[in-house]
Amino acid sequence: MSVRACFLMVFYVIIFGQLSLVAGYVSSAELKNPALLKQELLAIEKRLDAKLKALDEKLERLEKLESALESTSTSGPAVSGDIEATKKQEITLTQTSEKPEVTESKLQSAHANLSYGKNGFEFRTDDNKFSLAIQNRIQTRYSNPFDSDPRSIDDLEREESSFRIRRARTRLRGHAYRPWLKYYLQYDWSQPVLRDLNLTIDKFKWARVWAGRGKVIYNDERVTSSASQQFVNRSIVNDIFTVDRQQGVQIFGNLFPGYWYDISYFAGVFSGLGVGEGSNDDDHMMYSGRIQWNALGGELPFSQSDLEFHEKPALSFAFAAATNRSKCTAFQTDNRSCRDLPGFEAGQDGQYRINQMMEEVRFKWRGFSLQHEMHWKEIIDTLKSQYDSARETNLLGGLIQAGYFPHYIIPSIPRNLEFAGRYAFVDPDARLNNDLQEEISGVMTYFINGHLNKLNFQVSHLIVQNQSDHRFWLQWDLTF
């Protein structure tokens, strides 16, 4: 017998009982009080209507359930479970409809707010205990006749004109539990490699603590993101003198803001093998420090070009130093981050002692920007004798670059168009002559949405050992 037949039988029994009661009541009371009889009959009619309506709703649900059971009859003995689930669902729906305001409040507290800003799509809880910003970046480049910086005459003679996805990265950043407990992650899909993963305690501006994997705060050209560079890429100085990304701890802060002696400081301790090694090769650490005088305009962010159009001049001077002992003579962000400079053999654990220093000047005012860096680096091969002239090698390098938005003097030129020039040099061994490497570059950049969306065209004249060639770069950098 079907469930529907059972309910119909019950229905008829109820109707019959009600009619019997009515008949009995009529036989005993119809002659005594006809008005009272009429009222009782109307009340009974209303009760019957309500029961009929409730039964109709139940029959409709049962018909749906029977059709569902028929469609799933091939799945075996799961009918009783489905009936129980349906009953539970009905109970849940009934409870929800009785207290909609409580459920709505719970749902609101369980969701985060979504917005879009300079760090991409950001999720943030209502209590501001957690936030997560997701940002992606694509950098496509055409290079002719080669892409990488030449370090020898053979490099100048390359013919490798090509299109490249130079950078393809995803960034995650935000805070957890407290607004001042910040995290940052960056992954590069084009190499691939985990470039950054660090935590920062940013509660006090005069003393912030950073721990994990990321850039050593040493010089502006390297610390400034490749997305915020004035040129298509960094100068020929960078690969030789960078301390790049390391794994360790840094402390930094800003002291006396607003005074003429406004100072920013940075200090760190690292394993000294880059990001491609899980542990140190000896018990020596890398130590770095930077002191910066914010002479005018406060602390300048690590971002090139005067997109902000500083109404008042902003000027800073910086000095930095680092020392390390490891098997590395240079670094790059890669799975094999410990590199060997040209002319140096692959090192053994703790073979090379490196001491280096840098001075820097940055200036921005009314669309004009200027940057200068000078580097010195000493490499000591500890495996060579104290009397061996090849034991110590001194390297020198430097750059100066300037850019301007000419719209501010020629209004017919687009406001977002910048022209910039750069000169850079590297002397890979101060003892030798005729080994100088030079770069003379000019770039034209159209900022569609600031550094987040821009087009660059750069022409470089590159000189190695008195021989030269030209390189052309066309690039689109999009961050979203």
- The backbone torsions φ and ψ at residue 165, rounded to the nearest 5 degrees and listed phi first, read -90, 90
Which among 381, 270, 280 is positioned nearest to 329, based on CA atoms?
Answer: 381
- Residue 142 CB-density burial (10 A; 0-12 exposed, 13-18 middle, 19+ buried): middle
- Residue 476 CB-density burial (10 A; 0-12 exposed, 13-18 middle, 19+ buried): middle
Report the Cα 324 to chain-centroid distance in Å.
30
Cα separation of 441 and 461, whole Å?
A: 6
Structure tokens at 53: 């309506």
Q: Considering only the top CATH level, what class is 134-479? A: mainly beta
What is residue 20's predicted lDDT score, i.e. its pLDDT? 52
Element (H, E) at 185: strand 178-188
Give the three-state DSSP class for 284.
coil
Cα separation of 435 and 426, whole Å?
A: 9
- The backbone torsions φ and ψ at residue 435, rounded to the nearest 5 degrees and listed phi first, read -120, 15
DSSP string, 119-151: TEEEEEETTSSEEEEEEEEEEEEEEES-SSPP-
Question: Taken in order 78, 80, 83, 85, is the CA torsion positive or negative?
Answer: negative
Mean pLDDT, 10 residues at a time, over the chain (480 residues)? Answer: 52 51 46 65 74 75 69 44 43 42 44 90 96 98 97 94 97 98 97 96 98 98 98 98 97 97 98 90 94 96 96 97 97 91 93 98 98 98 94 98 97 97 97 95 98 98 96 98
DSSP string, 320-378: EEEEEEES-SEE-SSSS-EE--TT-PPPPTT-EEEEEEEEEEEEEETTEEEEEEEEEEE
Structure tokens at 409: 């003097």
Cα separation of 218 and 290, whole Å?
A: 6
Residue whose structure tokens are 């009314």: 366
In 382-466 the beta strands, taken as DSSP E runs, fall at 392-404, 417-427, 437-447, 453-464
What is residue 18's predicted lDDT score, i.e. its pLDDT? 52
Our separate counts of H helices and E strands in the chain read 7, 20
Which among 277, 131, 267 is positioned nearest to 194, based on CA atoms?
Answer: 277
Element (H, E) at 278: none
Residue whose structure tokens are 């009936």: 83
Angle between helices 34-71 and 3-29 (to 10 degrees): 180
Structure tokens at 393: 């090698």
Inter-residue contact 255 to 265 (CB < 8 Å):
yes
- The backbone torsions φ and ψ at residue 25, rounded to the nearest 5 degrees and listed phi first, read -65, -40
Amino acid at site 211? A
For the chain, give percent helix, strand, coil, nearest 5. 25, 45, 30
What is residue 336's predicted lDDT score, i.e. its pLDDT? 87
The pTM score is 0.76
Inter-residue contact 232 to 458 (CB < 8 Å):
yes
> Do you find a cis peptide bond into 406, omega within 30 degrees of 0?
no
Report the Cα 366 to chain-centroid distance in Å.
30
Structure tokens at 122: 């950001």
Residue whose structure tokens are 């489905």: 82
**Residue 392, Cβ neighbours under 10 Å: how many?**
15
Cα separation of 323 and 325, whole Å?
A: 7
Residue whose structure tokens are 């500890």: 382
Residues in the chain: 480
Report the Cα 227 to chain-centroid distance in Å.
12
Cα separation of 140 and 147, whole Å?
A: 12
Inter-residue contact 195 to 212 (CB < 8 Å):
no
∠ at Cα 301 (476, 222), nearest 5°? 60
